[in-house]
Amino acid sequence: MKLYSRQHLENSMDYAKAVQMLETGFIAFSQGQVQVPGVQNFNFAQANGDCCVKSAYISGEDCFTVKVSTGFYDNPGKGLDSNNGLMLVLSALTGQPLALLQDEGWLTCLRTALAGQIVASRLAPSEVQCIGILGTGMQARMQLQHLLAVTDCRQVLVWGRRPAELERYRAFAEQLGCQVETTLDAKDVPGKANLIVTTTPSRTALLRSEWIRPGTHITAVGADAPGKQELEPALLARADRLFVDAIEQCSRYGESAHALSAGLIDRGKLLELGQLLSGKVEGRSNDRQITVADLTGVAVQDAQIARCALACCQAV
């Protein structure tokens, strides 16, 4: 079994290849060609931590993936990152372990960010006036970094709760060549930005429907577990097109689940990203439409980013 460190994985990654493999994965998932056993969840109440185990196999491929992700929210006080994790790649031909990717959660961040890029490449309005980011953490940075590959816009407006975090984000985004404004009022973001990504662990809506201007696209990636929420449910009802990564999962949690349980939308409104990518359903049809993507994260992304990472490591 090969072992690869986070540093090795970061240095070897081919982002274009990863995007292509993630798109293939979303399409296979929506076509029912992926074995995705139920997620295993642990809760470590005494340590303010949790863990999930996500596994997936795309039919016909020669390997499958088991991912372990942890979040321990008191870690920063101990000088440790909150998130950690690793991925195991095993042979689907012999069952032998092939590789341990000790990515410390980086591959999960990356596959989530690249899903944001994939969505934006299909659903962003033709002219992006300003990129809006809610949140200032690792995912907020990676989303911006990978959005820049699919838009010429370099205007960024970022919202956060703490000025010091906003200033750190500004420095990061300026290094990427962006002109950055910051705000403590989330309402400012949709006033300027028409391509918005929400990346927070919020448990209440941060963006209200009435704030959103026609033509805006919003990708929400923060609500990856029950109880989390970033968008007012009325916004999902108002959206002209509502895409999700997995209809079944997004009916249980994520933004869509809130709108469904409030009776504001029905399940028929949920369109799957894989259907968009395969051309089975249409995306945005004009620059007045509001589009929303609700991404909760599916194990097929882990399987594909792991396969990509392994191929990249073996190629160098």
If one counts every other C-beta atom within 10 angstroms of the C-beta of residue 128, the result is: 21
Q: Is 223 helix (H, G, I), strand (E, B) or coil?
A: coil
Q: Quick check: 112 and 139 in contact, CB under 8 A?
A: yes
List 4, 26, 29, 64, residue binding a second copy (CB under 8 A):
64
Q: How far is the CB of 40 from a second copy (least distance, A)?
A: 4
Q: Does 225 bind a second copy (CB under 8 A)?
A: no
Residues 6+ apart with CB under 8 A from 48: 72, 73, 74
Q: Does 148 bind a second copy (CB under 8 A)?
A: no
Q: Does 88 bind a second copy (CB under 8 A)?
A: yes
Q: Quick check: 90 and 66 in contact, CB under 8 A?
A: yes
Q: How far is the CB of 51 from a second copy (least distance, A)?
A: 6
List 13, 51, 148, 281, residue binding a second copy (CB under 8 A):
51
Beta bridge partners of 86: 68
The residue type of 285 is S
DSSP state of 82: S
What distance in Å separates the CA atoms of residue 276 and residue 42, rounded to the nearest whole number? 33
1-30 residues in contact with a second copy (CB under 8 A) are 1, 3
List 13, 92, 148, 311, residue binding a second copy (CB under 8 A):
92
* Residue number, 42 or 171, with CB nearest to a second copy: 42
Binding mask 98-137 for a second copy (x = CB under 8 A): --x-x-----------------------------------
Q: How far is the CB of 53 from a second copy (least distance, A)?
A: 6
List 22, 27, 29, 70, residue binding a second copy (CB under 8 A):
70
Q: Does 32 bind a second copy (CB under 8 A)?
A: no
Tokens 């490449």 — which residue?
121
If one counts every other C-beta atom within 10 angstroms of the C-beta of residue 285, the result is: 10
Beta bridge partners of 52: 41, 69
List 16, 32, 93, 175, residue binding a second copy (CB under 8 A):
93
Q: Is 309 helix (H, G, I), strand (E, B) or coil?
A: helix
Q: Does 244 bind a second copy (CB under 8 A)?
A: no
* Residue number, 57 or 243, with CB nearest to a second copy: 57
Q: How far is the CB of 71 from a second copy (least distance, A)?
A: 7
Q: Does 33 bind a second copy (CB under 8 A)?
A: no
What distance in Å separates the CA atoms of residue 160 and residue 244, rounded to the nearest whole number? 25
What distance in Å separates the CA atoms of residue 141 and residue 234, rounded to the nearest whole number? 28
Tokens 């982002």 — which residue?
15
List 30, 84, 108, 256, residue binding a second copy (CB under 8 A):
84
List 2, 10, 11, 44, residue binding a second copy (CB under 8 A):
44
Q: Does 55 bind a second copy (CB under 8 A)?
A: yes
How far from 253 is each of 12, 230, 235, 245, CA to CA, in Å? 34, 12, 16, 12
What distance in Å separates the CA atoms of residue 126 and residue 120, rounded to the nearest whole number? 10
The residues binding a second copy (CB under 8 A) are 1, 3, 35, 37-38, 40-44, 46-47, 49, 51, 53, 55, 57, 60, 64, 66, 68, 70-72, 75, 78, 80, 83-86, 88, 90, 92-97, 100, 102
